[in-house]
Amino acid sequence: MSTPVTVNLLQISQSMEPGNETQILEFLLLGFSEDPALQPLIFGLFLSMYLATVAGNLLIILAILSEPHLHTPMYFFLSNLSLVDVCFTSTTVPKMLVNIQTQSQAITYAGCITQMFFFILFIGLDNFLLVVMAYDRFVAICNPMHYTVIMNPRLCVQLVLVCWIISVLHALLQSLMVLRLSFCTHLEIPHFFCELNQVIHSACSDTFLNDLILYFASMLLVGGPLAGILYSYSRIVSSVCAISSSQGKYKAFSTCASHLSVVSLFYCTGLGVYLSSAVTQDSRSTATASVMYTVVTPMLNPFIYSLRNEDIKRALKRSLGEKP
> What are the tens digits of pLDDT across the range 97-156?
999 999 899 999 999 999 999 999 999 999 999 999 999 999 998 998 999 999 999 999
Q: Residue 7: its pLDDT value, please? A: 35
Query: Is 271 among the domain residues?
Result: yes
Query: Is 115 among the domain residues?
Result: no
CB 107 within 8 A of CB 194: yes
Q: Residue 88: its pLDDT value, please? A: 96
Q: Residue 147: its pLDDT value, please? A: 94
Q: Residue 250: its pLDDT value, please? A: 76
The conformation of residue 222, written as its DSSP 8-state character, comes to I
Q: Residue 9: its pLDDT value, please? A: 35
Query: Is 256 among the domain residues?
Result: yes
Q: Strand, coil or helix: what is 91?
A: coil
CATH number at residue 209: 1.20.1070.10
Q: In the chain, which stretches have pLDDT less than 50?
A: 1-22
Per the DSSP assignment, residues forming a β-bridge with 106 are 28
Query: Is 80 among the domain residues?
Result: yes
Dihedral of CA 51/53/59/65: which sign?
A: negative
* Helix and strand counts by DSSP (H, E) for the chain: 13, 5
Query: Is 149 among the domain residues?
Result: yes
State the Cα–Cα distance between residues 317 and 324, nearest whole angstrom. 6
Instruction: Kindly report the average pLDDT of the chain as a whole number.
Output: 84
Containing domain of residue 242, as a range? 37-90+121-181+205-319
Q: Which of 103, 107, 106 is nearest to 38 (CA)?
A: 103
Query: Is 116 among the domain residues?
Result: no
Query: Is 227 among the domain residues?
Result: yes
pTM (predicted TM-score): 0.88
CB 85 within 8 A of CB 293: no
Residues of the chain with pLDDT > 90: what percent?
50
Per the DSSP assignment, residues forming a β-bridge with 12 are 24
Query: Is 249 among the domain residues?
Result: yes
Domain count across the chain: 1
